[in-house]
Amino acid sequence: MSEIRAPRGTAYTAQGWPQEAAKRMLMNNLDPDVAERPQDLVVYGGTGKAARDWPSFHAIVRELDALKGDETLLVQSGKPVGVLRTHEWAPRVLIANSNLVGDWATWPEFRRLEQLGLTMYGQMTAGSWIYIGTQGILQGTYETFAAVAAKKYGGDLAGTLTLTGGCGGMGGAQPLAVTMNGGVCLIVDVDRTRLQRRVDTRYLDVIADSLDEAVSIALKAKAERKALSVGVVGNAAEVFPTLLANGVAIDIVTDQTSAHDPLSYLPIGVEPADMAEYARTKPEEFTDRSRVSMAKQVEAMVGFQDAGAEVFDYGNSIRGEAKLAGYERAFDFPGFVPAYVRPLFAEGKGPFRWAALSGDPADIAATDRAVLDLFPDNDPLARWIRMAGERVAFQGLPSRICWLGYGERDKAGVRFNDMVARGEVSAPIVIGRDHLDAGSVASPYRETEAMLDGSDAIADWPLLNALVNTASGASWVSIHHGGGVGIGRSIHAGQVCVADGTALAGQKIERVLTNDPAMGVLRHVDAGYESHSAGGVQIPMAR
Amino acid sequence: MSEIRAPRGTAYTAQGWPQEAAKRMLMNNLDPDVAERPQDLVVYGGTGKAARDWPSFHAIVRELDALKGDETLLVQSGKPVGVLRTHEWAPRVLIANSNLVGDWATWPEFRRLEQLGLTMYGQMTAGSWIYIGTQGILQGTYETFAAVAAKKYGGDLAGTLTLTGGCGGMGGAQPLAVTMNGGVCLIVDVDRTRLQRRVDTRYLDVIADSLDEAVSIALKAKAERKALSVGVVGNAAEVFPTLLANGVAIDIVTDQTSAHDPLSYLPIGVEPADMAEYARTKPEEFTDRSRVSMAKQVEAMVGFQDAGAEVFDYGNSIRGEAKLAGYERAFDFPGFVPAYVRPLFAEGKGPFRWAALSGDPADIAATDRAVLDLFPDNDPLARWIRMAGERVAFQGLPSRICWLGYGERDKAGVRFNDMVARGEVSAPIVIGRDHLDAGSVASPYRETEAMLDGSDAIADWPLLNALVNTASGASWVSIHHGGGVGIGRSIHAGQVCVADGTALAGQKIERVLTNDPAMGVLRHVDAGYESHSAGGVQIPMAR
Ligand SMILES: NC(=O)c1ccc[n+]([C@@H]2O[C@H](COP(=O)([O-])OP(=O)(O)OC[C@H]3O[C@@H](n4cnc5c(N)ncnc54)[C@H](O)[C@@H]3O)[C@@H](O)[C@H]2O)c1
Ligand SMILES: NC(=O)c1ccc[n+]([C@@H]2O[C@H](COP(=O)([O-])OP(=O)(O)OC[C@H]3O[C@@H](n4cnc5c(N)ncnc54)[C@H](O)[C@@H]3O)[C@@H](O)[C@H]2O)c1
């Protein structure tokens, strides 16, 4: 397999920009600068794929090139299964990944079907072709740590030490997110290459040679109130308890090992080199052992909380796995959403990301300026956009992410479309988001944990979200199961719009980027949350 | 609550026919001639509701009356939760009912949420506003018994005796379906009023005063090769074993008690009068007891099969429940879909139903003639349409159902729209279907049981189906969980189009009624089934 990179520039082979955009974003997901294991079609999250297999990938590309402006391609768990005639307001691609009927929504059944070649794990933006590298998670992580700082440390993390595990595709954003907030971060990963990769991309400052060295570097920086991130090789299930036992002065504790999939978390006593083979040949035994190890790590996290630290689950289901291993206090610390993010969701605020199909970083610089111009009073947004411009190295097609709410996203989208029309950027802009959004997900261990009305597990909302985006003019729409928390634990939807500068695209973008965040407002108002945005949305039973 | 009946005729209060149609069909679902318990908003299936509660019902009606031609109403488990601006090709209503995240997809969690007022059980056509009374199930049941006759008895059931249980909203179609095929039917129900209701509507011929009398009437008719249906009051969990033990010469055995919901199946030893209170106050104990009783009934069914009878599960999950009670051989007899229906699904064949918004039976007579005219070579279809015209008493708005496949449904739909345009019928026609269709459901105990490639539990297909119908111009689209087999066991989608005689409606109908059955062809070709229709559909990986 030769390397895949999205075509750049304004010459294209598909029958229209929306189709070309889908093709480029699929390819961009597999760019070696973007994907974790492009040769296996894995984009991020250990197993999150962009297409089911190589024949499926090539068939999707071929179909996208041939697809007419009133046709729609159907993708079933990474495989193209049909092309149907629809109409020009309809999405060009409809995607459903990893979905299983409830009683069969288990890892063993999923793996059985995956091995039969009948499904794939789509994660969130992997199988829906809008992953933009670690910037996506960096921004969310930055927001989360900023919220921790605001809640407990007067607005910044100077003089605090954060402990976390897992420096992979998503977790690798943590050290930079902490230092951007002025704090010190100690990050543990079993795999040195993962740490090294983050050093190479300036997300991580140093790798220590031992745990002792790591601790002394970290404590020194903390004492000097310097922003610094330190990586150390080790198993979090061992390192976390050791640090707790040694009484190291840690202020904030979280984790982003790939605990959502027990076959991706290294159990204590297993060599990293033996992991893949062991997980493949004895999945049940491996699962039992990794869960027991996770329970050890979670027990230490609860210990840190008992000792006064700010502890939260960062959306990888580690509490759920620890509970399965029999650790009763696993859910003693909260998920990050109820702890920090929910008030934003109630305003339809969530991840708004875009990429420049030209491949030209100047196009993103232009859109950055447009966003600063559109929302002059939003200080945190301005801080992020400026810092991102300085510190974020693009991966694959140049891209940007920030959080915008109801009444904001449509303005930004329409502005981008106007910029394309006027030639202020050199090619169309793709606008999408993560599935971790205000109204697009049901995930009782993460986005919908501890809803006010107890509606955590109700999955009507993400399905309505996908239907609404399909009915509003999105270019591609997806419904996924599992995502970051694993099989049986979430259902979520994604949408992507293409700003190609046409009037039709402008209308579609205005509708989609109004209705998509509106779903967040509706969902949260229905659950009893206050929303300043509720007045702008038509809510029948609230009239 | 005063009685609800859909308005008839050509004067309407909504802003357009699609909106008016949704309102009339919602109301029609609650017509006392249609619904099982209209006062509780229950349409069929014991608990399948049209709206979450009365305030929700009235709010939906109000919103539908106000809804503009480029707006979309969102309904979350029977409650209207938002109105969004979309466009004229978009559905006017998007519905998601009863959906839960996999690990929470259990009856106790569903009931907890239902009691909190956060969800409702939508069944299939109850919560998606396209139930047409027992004719719908009559036609499917007629087709199934015809297939049994074709497979084992040379084309008709004369001289055979069929034993079944459950004479409710759906199950009540069985006696007439059997006699339409020339056979004798013995049907057991604990509730005499259910049997009486079917006598009143000419679906059931007689009610016997005792089991002995029922058996002797049935055996006499069988010996004389006369078509006859006999009802008897009793608990199927007791009557089935008794008949088996007595060696009664029964040829065909099935069941349609409401076994999908253990709280709706009467356990042995419980008085029908005490059932509701007992189920409400001690749901767990009740569930245990009803499952044990179901196991007894299923054990008898397996016994009949061992003795040479044709035995099949009629889609109520009774095998699954019996298995939960510990009866190992529960799945020894097949579901009706793999046994009889799958080859039809591979051709996109499935339930095609329509209703006359005028309320005038003459409009259905006109469409009946149009269907006979369109498909002159389809003998079974012609037989059904003629027999239905004679024997089926309309419930609520006059309606018709027949099974049509890929390449047929669009023709019928476009013809109906032309008839509306030309005034050959007096008001628009609503065209929809059950969720039990070729490409709209994942249900491993029923529609997708024993798929050739093992993909029974993959739920991407119904979600893609809903997205495709949303993208093709359907008037309302729904995604439901549970339906006829219960929580955790299925995900399915529905669509309804409105033929209002406009050119736009004609285009939408042509797209939807091509793409919707195409999903059945795609799904079955992907699973390895042969399909004569595959040539007409664009299937990327089959090229
Ligand atoms: N908070 C969120 O919104 C969010 C978003 C996306 C993903 N996630 C979740 O975060 C987790 C990490 O995602 P990722 O994309 O970085 O996964 P990844 O597979 O790329 O990285 C996981 C890392 O954990 C390391 N690891 C595994 N076992 C370990 C152990 N016992 N001790 C220390 N390190 C260990 C691996 O070496 C790897 O580097 C996943 O569970 C994912 O679902 C959360
Ligand atoms: N084959 C299909 O495609 C299909 C379609 C729709 C529904 N169903 C399923 O068929 C079942 C019946 O549906 P319905 O709408 O008729 O339900 P219903 O609730 O209207 O009727 C069920 C009937 O079963 C009777 N009953 C309950 N326990 C009994 C017992 N122990 N012995 C004898 N009778 C008993 C009740 O008195 C009632 O009349 C449901 O499980 C439904 O999900 C199957």
Please write the tens of the pLDDT for every residue from A104-123: 999 999 999 999 999 999 99
Backbone torsions φ then ψ of A210, nearest 5 degrees: -150, 165
Please state the three-class secondary structure of B143-186 as a single string.
Answer: HHHHHHHHHHCCCCCCCCEEEEECCCCCHHHHHHHHHHCCCEEE
- Shortest CA gap A528–chain B (Å): 12
User: Is the CB of residue B350 less than 8 Å from the CB of residue B433?
Assistant: yes
Residues A163 and A231 in one domain: yes
In a domain, B127, yes or no: no
Identify the helix (H) or strand (E) that includes residue B266.
none
Residues B174 and B320 in one domain: yes
**For position A50, what pLDDT does the model report?**
98
Of A313, A333, A353, which marks where a domain is finished?
A333
Residue A336: band (very low, low, confident or very high) from pLDDT cuts 50, 70, 90: very high
Q: What's the CA angle centered on A339, arms A335 and A343, to 5 degrees?
A: 125
* Mutational pocket test of ligand 2: of B43, B142, B238, B257, the residue with most ligand atoms within 8 Å of the beta carbon: B257
CB contact under 8 Å between B113 and A458, yes or no, is yes
CB contact under 8 Å between B459 and A99, yes or no, is yes
| CATH number, domain containing residue B390 | 3.40.1770.10
Residue A333 one-letter amino acid:
F
**For position B543, what pLDDT does the model report?**
60
- Shortest CA gap B155–chain A (Å): 36
What is the number of domains present in chain A? 2
Of A298, A333, A368, which marks where a domain is finished?
A333
**For position B1, what pLDDT does the model report?**
59
- Shortest CA gap A308–chain B (Å): 32
Active site residues of A: 402
Count of CB atoms situated within 10 Å of the CB of A301: 30
Tokens of B235: 């608990």
C-alpha to C-alpha distance for A495 and A466, rounded to whole angstroms: 7
Residues A161 and A98 in one domain: no
Please write the tens of the pLDDT for every residue from A79-107: 999 999 999 999 999 999 999 999 999 99
Beta-carbon contacts of residue B244 (< 8 Å; ≥ 6 apart)? B300, B303, B304, B307
A82: closest chain B residue by CA: B539
Collect all residues of chain A within an 8 Å Cβ-Cβ radius of residue B458. Answer: 76-77, 99-100, 113, 118-119
Domain hosting residue A478, numbered range: 1-131+341-543
Between B109, B455, B470, which is nearest A118 by CB? B455
**For position B169, what pLDDT does the model report?**
83
Please write the tens of the pLDDT for every residue from A242-277: 999 999 999 999 999 999 899 999 999 999 999 999
CB contact under 8 Å between A101 and B460, yes or no, is no
Residues A291-297, mean pLDDT to the nearest whole number = 98
CB contact under 8 Å between A468 and B84, yes or no, is yes
CB contact under 8 Å between A443 and B101, yes or no, is yes
Please write the tens of the pLDDT for every residue from A46-75: 899 999 999 999 999 999 999 999 999 999
Residues B97 and B144 in one domain: no
Listed residue (A408, A98, A133) closest to A260, CA to CA: A98
Residue B514 one-letter amino acid:
T
* Mutational pocket test of ligand 2: of B29, B186, B190, B256, the residue with most ligand atoms within 8 Å of the beta carbon: B256
For residue B470, the SS3 value is helix
Residues B106 and B143 in one domain: no
**For position A393, what pLDDT does the model report?**
87
Residues B356 and B328 in one domain: no
| DSSP state letter for A266 | P
**For position B146, what pLDDT does the model report?**
86
Ligand 1 atom nearest A257 alpha carbon:
24
Residues A538 and A414 in one domain: yes
For residue A475, the SS3 value is coil
What's the Cα-to-Cα distance from A309 to each of A254, A318, A341, rounded to whole Å? 10, 18, 19
Q: What percent of chain A has pLDDT over 70?
A: 100
Task: Share the mean pLDDT of chain A.
Answer: 96
Residue A527 one-letter amino acid:
A
Ligand 1 atom nearest A45 alpha carbon:
15
- C-alpha A52, offset from chain centre: 20
User: Is the CB of residue A148 less than 8 Å from the CB of residue A333?
Assistant: no
Listed residue (B432, B455, B442) closest to B525, CA to CA: B455
| DSSP state letter for A16 | S
Between B87, B116, B472, which is nearest A86 by CB? B472
Backbone torsions φ then ψ of A470, nearest 5 degrees: -65, -35
Judged against a pLDDT cut of 80, whether residue A379 lies above it is answered with no
Residue given tokens 């404590």 in the structure block:
A219
Listed residue (B177, B186, B175, B182) closest to B225, CA to CA: B182
Please write the tens of the pLDDT for every residue from A150-176: 888 988 899 999 999 999 988 999 999
CB contact under 8 Å between A94 and B481, yes or no, is no
Residues A445 and A519 in one domain: yes
Residue A543: band (very low, low, confident or very high) from pLDDT cuts 50, 70, 90: low
Residue A197 among known ligand-binding residues? no
Listed residue (B431, B434, B435) closest to B498, CA to CA: B431
C-beta B314 within 6 A of ligand 2: yes
Of B315, B333, B351, which marks where a domain is finished?
B333
Backbone torsions φ then ψ of B524, nearest 5 degrees: -80, -35
Residues A192 and A240 in one domain: yes
What's the Cα-to-Cα distance from B397 to each of B24, B31, B363, B429, rounded to whole Å? 9, 9, 11, 11
C-alpha to C-alpha distance for B75 and A451, rounded to whole angstroms: 20
The upper half-sphere exposure of residue B97, i.e. CA atoms within 13 Å in the direction of its Cβ, equals: 32
User: Is the CB of residue A402 less than 8 Å from the CB of residue A321?
Assistant: no
| CATH number, domain containing residue A261 | 3.40.50.10730
Residues A244 and A347 in one domain: no
Residue with CA nearest ligand 2 atom 15: B45
C-alpha to C-alpha distance for A438 and B372, rounded to whole angstroms: 51
C-beta B256 within 6 A of ligand 2: yes
Listed residue (A204, A151, A190) closest to A312, CA to CA: A151
Long-range contacts of B265-274 (CB under 8 A, 24+ apart): B265/B290, B265/B293, B265/B294, B265/B321, B266/B190, B266/B235, B266/B290, B266/B293, B267/B237, B267/B292, B267/B293, B268/B235, B268/B237, B268/B238, B268/B292, B268/B293, B268/B296, B272/B190, B272/B191
Residues B185 and B73 in one domain: no
Identify the helix (H) or strand (E) that includes residue B356.
strand B350-356
* Mutational pocket test of ligand 1: of A258, A337, A440, the residue with most ligand atoms within 8 Å of the beta carbon: A258
Please write the tens of the pLDDT for every residue from A467-481: 999 999 999 999 999
| DSSP state letter for A247 | T
B441-479 burial by CB neighbour count: b if 16+ within 10 A, else e? bbbbbbbbbebeeebbbbbbbbbbbbbbbbbbbbbbbbb
**For position A383, what pLDDT does the model report?**
80
Distance A260 CA to ligand 1 centre (A): 8
Residue B11 among known ligand-binding residues? no
Distance A323 CA to ligand 1 centre (A): 18
Tokens of A223: 């004492």
Count of CB atoms situated within 10 Å of the CB of A24: 27
ipTM of the complex: 0.88
Residues B283 and B379 in one domain: no
In a domain, B363, yes or no: yes
Rg (CA), chain B: 22
Please write the tens of the pLDDT for every residue from A3-12: 999 999 999 9
Residues of chain B with pLDDT under 70: 1, 543
Residue with CA nearest ligand 1 atom 39: A168
C-alpha to C-alpha distance for A378 and B324, rounded to whole angstroms: 57
Collect all residues of chain A within an 8 Å Cβ-Cβ radius of residue B100. Answer: 102, 457-459
**For position B542, what pLDDT does the model report?**
85
